Amino acid sequence: MPAPLPHPTTPSAHPRLLSPLDLGPFEVRNRIVMGSMHVGLEDRPGDAKKLAAYLGERARGGAGLIVTGGYSPDRTGRLTPGGAQADARTLRGHRLVTREVHEADGRVLLQLLHAGRYAFHPLSASSRSGKSPISPFRARRLTRRGVGRTVEHFAEAAQRAVAAGYDGVEIMGSEGYLLNQFLAPATNRRRDRWGRGAEGRRALPLAVAAAVREAIGEKALLSYRISLLDLVPGGQTWEETGALARGLVERGVDVLSSGIGWHEARVPTIVTSVPRAAFAENTAALRELVDVPVIASNRIHDPAVAEEVLAAGQADLVSMARPLLADPHLPRKLAEGRAAQVVACISCNQACLDKVFDGKRASCLVNPRAGHETELVLTPVAERRLRKVAVVGAGPAGLEAALAAAERGHIVTLYEATAEIGGQLRLAARIPGKEDYAQALQSWRMRLAAAGVGIRLETRPTGRDLAGFHDVIVATGVAPRVIDLPVEPGGPQVISYADLLEGRAEAGERVAIIGAGGIGVDVAEFLSAPRPSPSLDVTVWKRHWGVVEADEEHRGGVATRPVEEAPREVHLLQRKETRIGAGLGRTTGWVHRAELRHAGVIQHRGVAYRHVDARGLHILEDGEETVLEVDTVVVCAGQVSVDDLAAEVTAARKGRAPRVHVVGGADVAAELDAERAIRQAVEVVAGL
């Protein structure tokens, strides 16, 4: 068994976060909850060993309470045709999961989730017939008998979970799934006992809670994920939410976990542009209504912010799901006084939620081992096999390569041509809404220092300089692509996105952006977003997105977004005829597209670029010659790999050393992909 979490001799900077809490059936060792997050290991019973390794590592890392991804109580409620279901066959293999967590002195709940009309299959059923905006399948209306059977299925599944060794269950009543669908007037217009006013609409969640409580007994924990703010028109009012919360407690719920927003909501709730702890005040309001512990969630990624939430009395525990994906040992590091070495989650969703919504296994951009604990293993090397490793380029791929190599025990030197680490990620941190990317870079700095990596800034090593190393990892990244665009004197200033974001050039009042990929969209937001960034102020951000108090006038807590004056005129152009931003992430792309529309960014598709002269940027659009009268043209037309060093090292080497490995953008520049670059870097290091 692992050693108990250490108690540092100096006072902890997170005394509340690390303090134990009695939840009734048992005590948790700290206030850190790994909230429910589907990772793609839940769906196949054969993946139980991998799931056990994934959750077990979080338990060994010190998480106080772990909640699994959602398991449906029956076939109808599965998220996908082959989705996770808490049936006897599946849960037989989960004794391996619960044993792994318990051997690490952890506690784990199985979440029960009925998808309702969000189910991606023809068996979907809900409070009423109809199709949700995020599923192509039309849900059938549950009959009164069907509703009753659903209650029974929840109870039976909960009983099976406890028999499999789980410490209890969590009922998913948030995010727009079945129980939430019964609660909202927009999706429940029934005239029977399961509808007909607010009391009838909450009858099903209350019946499920009572049945589950009876099924699992008093020695198991019952948590309920409650929607505190639906963020959809026709959602619940706060008064209705409060009545539901009190009813749940009366029926034996031990813990209430905060949920914010339906999946179909047009207000972001978890992406990096959402301010930190943006919805903690909603949890605080819930805490005043009930006498059971409540869990705060959504964009509480920094342990310091989590500590502030607890210190302010806004919650009893804090859900940190994606942060524990990024760093499974976050609680242990806090207890050891190593908060600065916590791997920072940047809420990008690129390798986790985006993957899950594409039917793939989740991982983490800054921790590619997440979800792959049994496959991507960084084995410490024996002293006789220790190698001298040079990593050239301190972008994301180079940073993680250097760190992973040092953690294996190799002697590592990291070279960077500029005065700062970060590469393209450092540029991204300057985009409004991506300020947290800078925290990831600070985390890398601290971890590299702790691992003993030698860092040489403002240094461009030659092949001869690297001849004494056993391995050279070339992570020199990319350079902006130069396009063939004739430019006559006296016209608009033509600059690269790197010059703009680095501060070497400034944009005027009227700007054309050539290229509408991920970087082009970022630059458009950089030029059109309000200043200061709404992401840095919760009040400003809520006004920016139309988030208001959930009352009868604004059910669900949403209002029309206010009109805001854009700081400049921005044109965003692309050669393709497809929708601008179509290639962005599944869970984040819509946010960026909404921001562009809200800022009045003028979008041009199917464009051919002609030339620049004193009149402006000449383009061919819809078969006609057009001139955009702008004073600045920003080129975001892709990147090219910077990989010359690889050939230079190969030419200069003597014998078999050094071995050369090219990773990240230096290997493949198309559509910058930090998740692929970091994963590739770690895979290379694992094979050294």
Give the residue ranges of DSSP H helices in 188-287: 198-201, 203-216, 238-250, 280-287
597, 579 contact by CB (below 8 A): no
pLDDT digits (tens, 9 = 90+) for 579-627: 999 989 999 999 999 999 999 999 999 999 999 999 999 999 988 999 9
Asked whether residue 351 is domain-assigned, the answer is: no
Predicted confidence (pLDDT) at residue 1 exceeds the cutoff of 70: no
304, 339, 374 - which closes a domain: 339
pLDDT at site 385: 85
Lowest mean pLDDT of 11-20, 46-55, 116-125, name the range: 11-20
pLDDT at site 594: 96
The amino acid present at 318, given as its one-letter code, is V
d(CA 297, CA 572): 35
Asked whether residue 547 is domain-assigned, the answer is: no
Q: Are residues 150 and 198 in the same domain?
A: yes
d(CA 56, CA 106): 8
pLDDT at site 671: 61
Asked whether residue 238 is domain-assigned, the answer is: yes
Q: Are residues 290 and 419 in the same domain?
A: no
d(CA 491, CA 486): 11
Predicted confidence (pLDDT) at residue 9 exceeds the cutoff of 70: no
d(CA 601, CA 578): 17
pLDDT digits (tens, 9 = 90+) for 131-181: 999 999 999 999 999 999 999 999 999 999 999 999 999 999 999 999 999
Predicted confidence (pLDDT) at residue 12 exceeds the cutoff of 50: yes
pLDDT at site 8: 39
Give the residue ranges of DSSP H helices in 453-537: 497-502, 518-528
Q: Are residues 611 and 682 in the same domain?
A: no
Q: Are residues 575 and 429 in the same domain?
A: no
pLDDT at site 406: 97
348, 35 contact by CB (below 8 A): no
Lowest mean pLDDT of 7-16, 362-371, 454-463, 481-490, name the range: 7-16
* Residue at token pair 């009983």: 159
637, 656, 674 - which closes a domain: 637
d(CA 40, CA 63): 21
> Measured on CA atoms in the order 293, 299, 305, 309, is the torsion positive or negative?
negative
Give the CATH number of the domain where residue 256 resides.
Answer: 3.20.20.70
SS3 628: strand
* Residue at token pair 């809404």: 433
Asked whether residue 72 is domain-assigned, the answer is: yes
Asked whether residue 280 is domain-assigned, the answer is: yes
Instruction: Give the single-character DSSP code of 275.
Output: P
pLDDT digits (tens, 9 = 90+) for 514-566: 999 999 999 999 999 999 999 999 999 999 999 999 999 999 999 999 999 88
Domain that holds residue 662: 383-479+640-686
* Percent residues over pLDDT 70 in the chain: 98
SS3 392: strand
DSSP string, 589-652: HHHHHHHHHHTT-EEE-S-EEEEEETTEEEEEETTEEEEE--SEEEE---EEE--HHHHHHHHH
Q: What's the alpha-carbon Rg for the chain, to the nearest Å?
A: 26
Predicted confidence (pLDDT) at residue 4 exceeds the cutoff of 80: no
Assign 672 a pLDDT band (cuts: 50, 70, 90): low
Asked whether residue 561 is domain-assigned, the answer is: no
pLDDT at site 383: 81
pLDDT at site 303: 97
d(CA 340, CA 334): 9
Q: Which residues are catalytic?
A: 177
219, 248 contact by CB (below 8 A): no
Q: Which residues contact 569 (CB under 8 A, 6 or more apart)?
A: 509, 510, 511, 602, 630
333, 339 contact by CB (below 8 A): yes
Q: Are residues 579 and 673 in the same domain?
A: no
pLDDT at site 7: 40
Give the CA distances from residue 670 to residues 197, 481, 639, in Å, rounded to whole numbers and listed in that order: 54, 11, 7
Q: Are residues 191 and 208 in the same domain?
A: yes
Give the CATH number of the domain where residue 660 resides.
Answer: 3.40.50.720
339, 364, 394 - which closes a domain: 339
Q: Are residues 469 and 496 in the same domain?
A: no
Asked whether residue 552 is domain-assigned, the answer is: no
pLDDT digits (tens, 9 = 90+) for 170-181: 999 999 999 999
What is the chain's mean pLDDT, rounded?
95
Give the CATH number of the domain where residue 630 resides.
Answer: 3.50.50.60
Predicted confidence (pLDDT) at residue 94 exceeds the cutoff of 50: yes
pLDDT digits (tens, 9 = 90+) for 245-265: 999 999 999 999 999 999 999
Q: Are residues 78 and 135 in the same domain?
A: yes
pLDDT at site 426: 95
Nearest Cα to Cα of residue 533 among 643, 415, 671, 433: 433
Q: Are residues 289 and 391 in the same domain?
A: no
Q: Are residues 323 and 413 in the same domain?
A: no
pTM of the model: 0.95
Domain count for the chain: 3
pLDDT digits (tens, 9 = 90+) for 394-405: 999 999 999 999
54, 94 contact by CB (below 8 A): no
d(CA 685, CA 570): 43
pLDDT digits (tens, 9 = 90+) for 199-243: 999 999 999 999 999 999 999 999 999 999 999 999 999 999 999
From the centroid of its chain, how far is CA 533? 20
DSSP string, 25-39: S-EESSSEEE-----
Asked whether residue 412 is domain-assigned, the answer is: yes
pLDDT digits (tens, 9 = 90+) for 431-490: 999 999 999 999 999 999 999 999 999 999 999 999 999 999 999 999 999 999 999 999
Q: Are residues 68 and 210 in the same domain?
A: yes
d(CA 688, CA 471): 8
Q: Are residues 80 and 111 in the same domain?
A: yes
Q: What is the enclosing helix (H) or strand (E) of 223?
A: strand 221-229
